[in-house]
Amino acid sequence: MGQSHSKAKSFSYAIAGIKEAFKKEPNLRIHIVIAFLVIFAAILLGFRLTEWAILLITIFLVLTLELVNTTIESLVNLVSPEIRNEAKIAKDISASVVLLGALLAIVIGLILFIPKLFNLR
């Protein structure tokens, strides 16, 4: 189907994609800053292994959704450079996926952090 690349080359493309998204997408940078703050808080609060697993899955889910949103927006811009209602709908729905993921992350964060902060466990 596609071109065959070495594993190292494939990883370099993936890293280049993350770098490009980081440079061009302020929302991705915001998510990453929040992720580091949350990780720091989890370290301070002594999260257990299962809490870490849930937290990291949640963080990577939001980052992944943001990258998918960026991809969809870029593709829409490529195939529809002019302003069209269908393009707007695609971009809005794509952005709503990130919003839902971020809202889920907030809920999961509350579930994980509130008991730790108020010694409920």
- The pLDDT tens digits of the residues spanning 74-114 come to 999 999 988 899 999 999 999 999 999 999 999 999 999 99
In a domain, 89, yes or no: yes
Burial class of residue 100 in the structure, from the number of CB atoms within 10 Å of its CB (0-12 exposed, 13-18 middle, 19+ buried): exposed
CB 13 within 8 A of CB 5: yes
**pLDDT tens per residue across span 35-62:** 999 999 999 999 999 999 999 999 999 9
CATH of the domain at 11: 1.10.287.3610
Q: Could you list the residue range(s) of the whole structural domain that residue 73 is in?
A: 7-117
Enter the tokens of residue 96. Answer: 């709503």
Is 82 labeled as catalytic in the residue annotation?
A: no
Q: Exposed, middle or buried, 25 (CB in 10 Å: 0-12/13-18/19+)?
A: middle
Residue 75 covered by a domain = yes
Domain count along the chain: 1
**16 in a domain, yes or no?**
yes
Q: Which of 66, 73, 82, 86 is catalytic?
A: 66
Question: What is the model's pTM?
Answer: 0.88
Is 1 within the bounds of a domain?
A: no
Domain assignment of residue 2, yes or no: no
Is 53 among the domain residues?
yes
